[in-house]
Amino acid sequence: MLMLKKLSRLLALMSMSAILIAPAILVNLTFIFSFARRTRTLAALATLWAKCSCRILGIRVRPDGDFNKDLTGFIVSNHTSYTDIMVLASLLPCTFLSKEDVRRWPLVGLLSMLAGTVFIDRSSRSGIPAAIKGLNRKLRAGVNAVVFPEGTTSDSSDVMPFKSSFFELPLMMNCPVIPVSIKYRAAGCGQLENPVAWFGNEYFPKHFWRLLGCGNVEATLFFSAPLQYTKGDNTLARKDLAMQAHSIVSKQYRNLSV
């Protein structure tokens, strides 16, 4: 029965994703000369994909705290798994920052490109400035820019320190910084403490195959109030902003663990 459950979920997810490829291509072609309309429409399609994906995988998304679906800003969150993208996008129109090699992932890479993901090449000196410019355009188009400042996924025991590079963006644009803490609770996934967490060198297909067999997963997203900050020396300001955001995300993450 477990094998059948995994296969049916996998087939449903692949079929749904394949069906949405055609509309995404059409949107990219239709609004080729209107970046803002293309960005907003693709974000809406991504939200549809994320909602369907969460439903197929049995992930129940529960927003908490100061959640405001009408607020657009710079969202920073702890990073536990690739499922963070699904649960955030299911609630809000978002664009995400992703590492360059995701482009080459089967199906996932194509979907990411069609959805307007901003990719960063960390091996290039121009990688971060180019990514900041890309996120800037998305924010101006009216969608949330999501960054996971830990820089990688963690084992979910705590929130790792935030890298400050991308906090230059809200300082440039004077836009809200929205801290989000994501916590998962899972049942029917074996003996692992947090089977949703994907970190270290674990092979992606192995982890995803295990996730397909989970019973019920609840994702709680605690939205803290947008950060208040003043512009100053950019280097000091972004480091201070990163520390503030990390403190808030960490505190609420621990509160969700109680």
Domains and CATH numbers, the chain: 2-257 (3.40.1130)
How many other C-beta atoms lie within 10 A of the C-beta of residue 190? 9
The series of mean pLDDT values per 10 residues for the chain, 258 residues long, is 92 94 94 95 95 96 94 95 94 92 81 87 86 94 95 89 93 92 84 79 90 90 88 74 96 85
Q: In which residue are the tokens 């280097």 written?
A: 235
CB 38 within 8 A of CB 138: no
pLDDT at 193: 66
How big is the chain, counted in residues? 258
CB 88 within 8 A of CB 77: yes
pLDDT at 177: 95
**Strand 216-223 versus strand 177-187 pairing type:** antiparallel
pLDDT at 208: 93
- Angle, in degrees to the nearest 10, between helices 35-57 and 2-30: 170
pTM for this structure?
0.92
Separation between Cα atoms, residue 17 and residue 36, nearest integer Å: 24
Burial of 160 (0-12, 13-18, 19+ CB in 10 A): middle
